[in-house]
Structure formats: structure tokens, C-alpha cells
Structure 1
Amino acid sequence: MMAIQESPFTASQKDIGSFLTEEDVSCRYMQVGCTNPTENTSGRAISFLKEYMQAKSDTKSAMTAAEQAIAMLAWKRRSAFVSSLCTDYSKFRLHTNATTRQFLAFLDAQQGTASKAHFEALETALGFNLRVHGLLMDDIIGHKVPEAIMFDFFHIYLVHGIVGNELGFFFGKLRDAGFREDRMLAFVSSFRWPKQFASADAKRIFGKREKKTSPVKAEASELLNALPVLRVFVMMFVMKAGIDESTVQACMCFLMLCKVIDMLQAAVRGMVVDPAELHNTIVKHNNCLLDTYGEAAWVPKNHLSLHLGEFLKKFGHLVWCFTHERKHKLVKRFANQKLDGSKAFEESILKDVLAVQLNMMEGEMPSSKVRLMNPKPAPKKLVDLVGQVMPWATGPIMHDLRAMHAGGFVCTKGDVVAFDATSVGLVQFQFQAAGQVWTCVTPWKHVHEHMFECTGLDPFITATDSIKSCCIYSEKDGKAIVLV
């Protein structure tokens, strides 16, 4: 790859040739999503374009006039390149529907004028693949697609993403400070999760890694289960120990990461999240990551995260692919059995999947009301109890172990639920009477911060819709840590 330190080239810009104009060359050093590339991207683009032009001109010389012109234009534009480590969003120039169409039109015009290998190199340099019958080339909706795209924060942070990458560096820093993974594992293992999420084993984040700073390998649901518990561990033990300044900074960086995840989850659940505050929090976390661990901890998804605040501002909400990710196995179950992909393959697969999904959702369709998941007539003992405490309740009494909350979570017997930051309790049973769902809860006494006492208080019956959330907790000898 040619290194350009100054502009010694005198070739006329008209020598670029009719097949690649000055405007083409000067605007082609672009990433997908941003028209300001990184230094590496620009260098790669220059290299590919040089190879492409050499193939076009069939010239074997080390530096043709056309190549000199490309180098000169690249040098002139070098000041416009933005580092991939840049967190200043004001310096980013986003692709538009128009610029995307221009790129594709340029590629379409070049197709067939060079070998397959060199055309693919040109596609790589420009950051776009030409698909003549693809969505972007559709004359009806294709021109609207680029500005309708939203990055999925679920993949950015949780699928081989920012969370697992940073945890690797963070665990290495904690190990140097005397907090080894086995100690964290023991702490995490003492906690219980709401039954709705208990199948995701948070302990897997402590699996074997190649190096002490290697990324943590875990599924997204396991990372989501682990983060709140790790945050408490850091606040209760690490931050209160005699750690050095660099470890304090690593802890603060991790806590910022947790805050970002909290805000993103709130946004996808329909809660009010200020786009500017989300963006500023993401920027602060990325800057802290660079200050703490250096460039080695930066991955391309860190740059992608910088666009999430703008997406929230533009669209008014964020979407994530968590549900889609969980359903991969369902699609494969049908797709792997179909050997003939020539006749309505996609339609056939989607029909099978839709049928299964509708059947699974029969008792869990979205609703604004709290409801029992699988109501059954209550046993006589429960009917008598309801008659004593709620003599005004008429009609049949139904019961079930699980109740779907209007907030989208499931309350199950044995879960710890929260009514506010200091009011929590253990679910004993749930029933439906007088057209409403009720939950019997044994309250736990708040002591301090996350600490509660689990004994000595009488159970009470409350409307299930007064419950705000189900909690992760650790209980031993009548005392509990509850993450509200």
C-alpha cells in the first residue's frame, strides 16, 4: 500500500480517465453509514482503486499517470478523514438515500468492464456490493431504504459485542487488583433470578479464556443476567477496597457501561429516554473506555454505538432483535428439512414458523391487562381463604402459578417482586377474583440500600398490577440482597 506523506505528484487530473472521473475518485473513500472513512479504510480504498485502474488500463508500470492522480486526490482529501476512534458525532457525515443511489449507479456502470476479482475489489473499496435485483436497486422503495435503517443495539453490545469485549479487559484489571474470577463466580452463584429468566446461566461469563483480557464468551441473555449482579459486586466490594486509581477508573467505565445498557433496555420497552442524554452517556463511556484501556479495547461496534442516540431521536424509539435471535432454532427446524429451495422456499418456511408462533402465543398475546397465564378453578382451600379476606368478591375464583404483567414480565410463585425501591416481597400464590388478578406477597423489611430482612412480617394480598418488577436476589439466614 502506498504511503502518502506529501503531494509530489504533478499528473493532470484529466489523466484519471473517462472511466473514473475526479469526482468519482474524490468521493469514493467512504464507509458504509458514514462518508468520512477511517485512515485504514482510506488506505485500503486507495490500494483497491489503484489495482482496479491498473487492470482497466492494462498497465504494468509501478505508477501510471492515472494512479498518480488518484494518489494526489487522496492526499488532498486526507484532512477530511476521521479516525475510527473519533467520538465527536458532529464530524460524521452520514450517507443519504441520494448518495447511496449514486454509489450503486456508479458500480452498475462499471460492471462488466473489469474482471470479477477487480470488480469485487472495487465493491470492497466503496463499501457496497452491487445486487441488480436487490432491495437497494428497487425503483419503488429502494431509494428510501438507507435513511430508514436502524442499527440493532442488541448485536452492538451483547452479541460478540462491546459488553463481552470490555468485560474481558475489566476482569483482567480486577485480577491484577486481587479480585479473581472465582471470587466473583461465588458471589454470582449465590443469586436467584426470576423464573422467567432463570434458564440463562450468568455463571457462564466466567468460562475459560485464552488470556486474562480476552473477550468474555457468553450468550446475550447470560450477559444481561450477569451485569446487575456484577455491578453490585463492584459497588459493594471492589470500590470500597484499597484499589489504585487505574482500577477505580476501570470500575467507573464498567458502571457507565451498565448505565448505557439500562437506558437502551428502557428505550426498547417504551419508557421515556432522552436521545441527547443517551448519546452523551454512550460518548462518555466510549471515551472512558479509550482512556482506561487504550485503542486495544476499541472494536468497530464502539463506533456503531455512537449512532444509537440519533436513531432514537429520528425514529422516536429503538428496536432490537432479541426475539428474532431466540427464534433461530425454530427457523432451522423447518428449513433443514426442505431440500428443494426452488419453489416458494421462503414463503413455505414463513408459513410453518408463523403457525408455530401463533400457537405458542395463544395464551400470551400482548395485552394492556394483567392476566393469569393458564387459569384453572381454584382449590377449595383457596376459595375459602378468598371468601374470608375478600367477602365482596363474587363469581368463580381462578388460580395459576404464573401471571403475565402488563409491563411485559411474568410473575411466578417464588419470585421476589418490587413495588418501589424499598418495598419488596416473596410471591406466595396468585388468583383471579371479581374480574381482577391478585397476588399474595410476604413482605421483606428494608434495612439499607440493597439489604433486606426476610422474616417476621405477615403476608398480604395486593392487586398484581401494583407490582413494578421481578427482582434478582440472594438470600441466606433470613437476610437478602435484592436488586431492585
Structure 2
Amino acid sequence: MDASKRASLGRNSFVSLSGIEELLKDLAGQIVQPVSRRTLKRSREEEANQHGILRTMDIVVDEQKHRLQFLDPKAFLQAVVKNSAGFAEMLSQLTTGSSFGSPLSWCLYTDEVTPGNAMRPRQNRKVFAAYWSCLEWSVRVLQSEEAWLPLMVVRSTVVKAIGGVTVLWKHLMEQVLCPMQAGVVVELPVVGARMLFFELRCFIADEVALKQLHTPESMAAAAGYVATAASSHATAAEMTRLEQAMGLNHHAGGVLLDPFLGPRFFGSLMFDWMHILLVTGIVGIQCGLTLGFLHGAGWTTDRINFFLNTFRLPDRIQKGGFQDVLTKREKIAEPVRGSASELLTLVPLLRFYVEKRVVPVADDELRRRLRPFLLLADLLQTFRTLATTTIDAHVLAASVKEYLDDFLAVHGDSDWVPKFHSLMHLAPQYRHHNCLLSCFCHERKHKVVKKYTNQLCNWTTGFEKTILQDLISSQLRIMKDWTPANYTKVRLLEPTKKAPVQLERQVTEALGCPGPFVASLEALHGGGYPVHRGDFVFVRAYGEETLGQADLHLQAAGETWKVVSFLHRVAPDIFQAAGSIGKTLVPRSLILQTVAYSLMDEQAVVVRDV
């Protein structure tokens, strides 16, 4: 092959020459057998049939039969245990679930997923997806999408044809609930065969849950009241108005009116605090109103936006920053619109600006108007910490009430939306479930569903079956090397390479252990989040918290270490950026958190909890 042809290799698909070189090295001496799409499909079907996970049920509506596929949770659990040693070890350490009297808390989730272009006039690919997990698997594990196993994927057009989501859940629960309650036999390491029992105790969703603005008792009464109205031959218009007023839809064959399943759903609802606060929710409304007050007092949006954009975020959230979310509004007090990640990053930085720049020079009236925002910032941080800490549910309820009372006192009820009411139910639900989950991980899980649905051109015959077979294969492949320690164990993250020679020499002298050592630009720290080279971090050293800038990470003497350049503290949130105290080798377990920072006049201003 001449030089011109070699130079053009991969250019049509944007592959670099070095990438082609590495690929050819990997393939050197190997015989690559061509694989057809038919072979891949046959392999996928054999894997699904091998474990007996894919099941079928028929739903008859108006004498028309609809055949739906779902994934048997009992067979899926047995397949995952057999395929994943880490998952099996986690189940063997559970202290509950081994008896019918103390079952595991089965948790379900559902949402509508829109693959492809959401603006297309035809939405045939819209699907309802459902996943399941268990509350006893710890909140940290439940924050990972791998810990939620697929249950079903059904086209929205089919769901509408059978009478809606409530009918779908009724028929699905009739298929899977009793077998899970009766127990699942799994082979676990050390303990051997073990029977695990499950009981439906948690049903979390976003928009579906937010419509249910009732306690379990009032929801049951409301469903009965709507059913009574329907039986009294109310007109369609009257039923529509009644359903809107009651906050639920009536369907005689739905799950809410089922005498066996209805009470279980009433008592298992959990609202998603992430959607209540961050998805077209309370945080956007509150930030907009607060910015309106600040603008009226001379603190313009452009001035605030310039200050906030001087901050550099930790590498793990740099791409999901908040640039220009404040300038997208047309009116001064209009709600701030942005993604959940953008608002989650915006709130602590805006709070820092209000507390450090505005409050010290504000009059009493402006301070009173800013108080609801500061209370909401505290409340948001409380919900974020529930993944790693526990609080008293009564304290949480008091914090919610204090914020809502202040909001009404300052802003009135003109901006009050149903999500403010939903916020009141989070504390009782936290007391009932001993935890509050968010749907961040489920939104990430949707990417897997979208990945496979986008590849299909025929969304009629066999659509759900093909998607579910792909999900089975994907889930088993992901869980093969899965372990709960993936989210908490301090370790280097890929890619890794040999540490520089000079660093190896210094580490050998300091620790007294010979090299070679493995180094990386990124590692997981003690808080369970990745730290990248260049991030500013707080480190617990000599009994106090000190700020430093992260450098290389390396593995030595059986522990993960971090090279940190410590900075001199000038004020509680200000550090001298020009010149460091010196570089120190710090165990990664002592890293507390990453922070946002802004360099001003050779000084670093830092903001925590981003």
C-alpha cells in the first residue's frame, strides 16, 4: 500500500492514524471471523431463552387480544446471581429477606421514554419502560443504573390501546407479584441455596407520582369516590373535570381499583425529590423570583452571571455546568430554566454570591426577601446528603414547613404550583421508607433503552421482543464484573500508565517500597466521586481540613495515593493561589470533596457542595 492510501485510512470515519495503528497491533496474528447480523440475533435469542427470562402475557380489551412481553423478575434475578459473583456476594450479606415474615422491599419504577427526535410528528417509538430493585441494597447502590433490572418495555401506542398505564400495571402485577412473594431460590457463595422473599413496598416515578397529590388513605378514598361518580352515569365532560380535580384518572380495570393490588400501590408511593425541585420545579421558580429581587436592588442578572461564570467546576461536572442559564429568561423574575444538573450546580454558587456579596450590605427588607432562597438551598443540600447520611424525619418536615411558610409570606401564592404540595409529602415518605430515592440513575438507564430502540426501523411486529432481548444481554454483560465496591472503593480509574521515573524515585524514598508504580489522571476518592488532575479538593490532614490542588494519582504499598499541592488559607473561603505550601503524598481516603473555585487577584475563592 502506497503512502497516499495509508494517509487516507480512516479519514471517512474520523479515525486517527495512531488509532488505526493500535487496532492493527491488537489484531496482529489473530484470525477474525466475519459475523452476520443473523448470527448475532440467534446468539441473543439463545441467551434469552437459556435463562427463561422473556415471558408473554395476553390482555384482552373489547374482544381484541394484545400480546405483550415482559422480563420475569424471578428468572432474571437467578440469572444475574449466576452470572455476577459480586451481586451474589451482596445478596449473601443481607440480614433480611430469608423469611416470609421479613421480606425484601421490592421497589418498582416506570417512565415514558422518547427515543430519537422528540420533535417528530409521529411518536411511534415512544415506550413505557419499567425497572426494579430492592431498598435493602443500600441507597449508594441504588444510585447506580446497573442495580436496576429491566422489567418491561411496551410501546406507548399499545399502552393507550389497552386502557393506559394503570391497566398495564394491573396485568403485569398479576403475573409477577405472587411469584416474588412466594420466594426465589438463588445459589449464593458460602451460604449455598437461599430463599429470598419480596413484598411490593416502593413505587417511584416522576410525572406519574407527581399527579398523585394524596396520602395513601386519601388516595384510596379518592379512587372510590371517582369510581362512584362513574357508576352514576356521569358525562364524559363531568368525569374529565372530576379527574383533574382529584388528581387521578379513573379506569374500572385499572390497578388502583383492584382490591388486592390497589392498597399495595397506595402504601408504596415515593415521590422523586429530584423532579419536584429541579425538573421545571421549585428551584427554578425560587431562583427566578430571587433574581428579580436582586435586580430591583441593583444586583443585575448580567453582573451575577459574570461572577458565577468565573468559577471553574470539578472535572466530573464541568460539562454539565450552568453557563447562560440565567440569561435565557425574557423577564426579570421569570423561572430559571435548565437541566437538573445545571440547577444543582447553580444553587450553591448563587447561594455563595448572596451570602458573601449581597447579605452583608443588604437592608432588612432585602434580607427578608432573600431568606426563602437560602432556606431552599439548605433543603436541597439535605436531600443530596440523604444518600450517605440519615436525618430525623421530623427535622426534615420542619425544614420543609419553614421554607414553604417563608415562601408564602414573601412571594404569596401566585407562583404556587402542585409541586410545592408534593414537597410536603417527602418527609412522611422518608419516615415510611427510611430513604428517599431520586431518578437521576433511571434517566441514565433510559440511555440503554434509547440505544436499542434507535437501531430499529420496524416498530410493529417483534419490537418489544427485540428490545427486551438486547436488554437481557446488556444487563448480564454489565453485571458480570459488578460489585457494590464499584461505587465506594478508593481506586484508580482507567486509563492507567506507568508513573514517571522521578515520581517513582520520590515515592520509593518516602514509603520505602520499590516500584514500579501505576499512575492515573483520575481516581475515585473517599466520598465516592472521581477526582481529576487539576481539581481543587479539601483534604483532612493533621486534624483539620486543608485545600489543595490534585495532581497525579498512583497505586503504591497496597493503597491509592494522591499528589496534592496544598494552598495557604487567607480567609475561611479564600486561599493563596500563587505558590503552594508544597506537594505532599496523601492517601486517597483522606480526600473529602471536590470544590468549585474562582481565581481572582492570585487568590482562589472556593465554594463547597457543588
Q: 1:332 aligns with which of 450, 468, 478?
A: 450
Aligned to 1:385: 506
Partner amino acid for 1:266?
Answer: T
Mapped pair 1:464 → 2:588:
yes
Number of the residue aligned with 1:260: 379
Q: Does 1:445 align with 2:568?
A: yes
Q: Distance in 2 between matches of 1:291 and 1:370?
A: 47
Deviations 1:258-307 (A, max 9, x none): 1000101011x221222111111111111111111111232211111111
Structure 2 partner of 1:408: 528
- TM-superposed CA distance for 1:351, in Å, is 4.8
Question: Match for residue 310 of structure 2?
Answer: 190
Higher RCO, Cα 8 Å, sep 6+ = 2
In structure 2, stretches of 5+ residues that fail to align are 1-212
Q: In the alignment, which residue of structure 1 is the partner of 2:326?
A: 206
1:431 to 541, 546, 554: 554
Deviation for aligned residue 1:125? 4.5
Q: Is the 8 A contact 2:490 2:560 kept in 1?
A: yes
Amino acid at match of 2:571: H
Q: Please tell me the residue identity of whatever aligns with 2:391.
A: V
1:136-187 C-alpha deviation (Å, 9 max, x unpaired):
3555544201111011110111000001001111111100000001111111
Query: Could you say which residue in structure 2 is the equivalent of 1:478?
Result: 602
Q: Identity of paired residues, percent? A: 31
Alignment of 1:6-25 (within 5 A): none
Tell me, yes or no, if the aligned pair for 2:305 and 2:324 is still in contact at 8 Å: no
Q: Cα–Cα, structure 1 residues 95 and 459, in superposed 2: closer, same or farther, change >3 Å?
A: same
Contact 1:363 1:373 in 2 (8 A): no
Report runs of 4+ in structure 1 exceeding 6 Å deviation: 357-364
Find the aligned partners of 1:197 and 1:344 in 2 and give their Cα distance: 39
**CA shift in 2, pair 1:463/1:354, >3 Å:** farther
Q: What is the 5 A alignment of 1:276-291?
A: 276-291=394-409
8 A Cα contact 2:499 2:554, kept in partner? no
TM-score by length of 1: 0.73
Task: Tell me, yes or no, if the aligned pair for 1:413 and 1:429 is still in contact at 8 Å.
Answer: yes
Considering only CA atoms, is the larger Rg found in Structure 1 or Structure 2?
A: 1
Whether the 8 Å CA contact 1:192–1:472 is kept in 2: the answer is yes
- Corresponding position of 2:292: 172
Match of 2:369 among 232, 250, 270: 250
| Cα gap change, 1:471 to 1:361, in 2 (>3 Å) | farther
Deviations 1:23-42 (A, max 9, x none): xxxxxxxxxxxxxxxxxxxx
Superposed CA RMSD = 2.9
Q: Distance in 2 between matches of 1:363 and 1:199?
A: 28
1:417–1:468 contact (8 Å) kept in structure 2: yes
2:391 is matched with which residue? 273
Matched residues in 2 for 1:354 and 1:450: separation? Answer: 49
Cα distance in 2, alignment partners of residues 206 and 226 from structure 1: 9
How far 1:203 sits from its partner (Å)? 2.4
Distance 2:255 2:415 in 1: 35
CA contact (8 A) 1:153 1:320 kept: yes
Q: Deviations over 1:76-118 (max 9, x none)?
A: xxxxxxxxxxxxxxxx983329x62782586289369455444
| 1:186 partner SS | helix
SS of 2:347's equivalent in the other structure is helix
C-alpha separation in 1, matches of 2:234 and 2:434: 45
Please state if 1:307 is matched with 2:425.
yes
Letter in 2 for 1:169: L
SS at match of 1:462: strand
- Contact 2:565–2:580 (Cα < 8 Å) also in 1: no
Going by fraction, where is strand more abundant, 1 or 2?
A: 2
Q: Deviations 1:359-408 (Å, cap 9, x if unpaired)?
A: 6788885414211111534145133332222223x575212111123422
Q: What amino acid sits opposite 1:444 in the alignment?
A: L
Q: Normalising by the residue count of structure 2, what TM-score does the alignment of the two structures yield?
A: 0.59
With 171-180 and 340-349 compared, the bigger mean Cα shift is at: 340-349
Q: In structure 2, what residue type is equivalent to 1:297?
A: D
State the distance in 2 between where 1:208 and 1:410 align: 31
| Bigger Cα displacement from structure 2, 158-167 vs 110-119 | 110-119
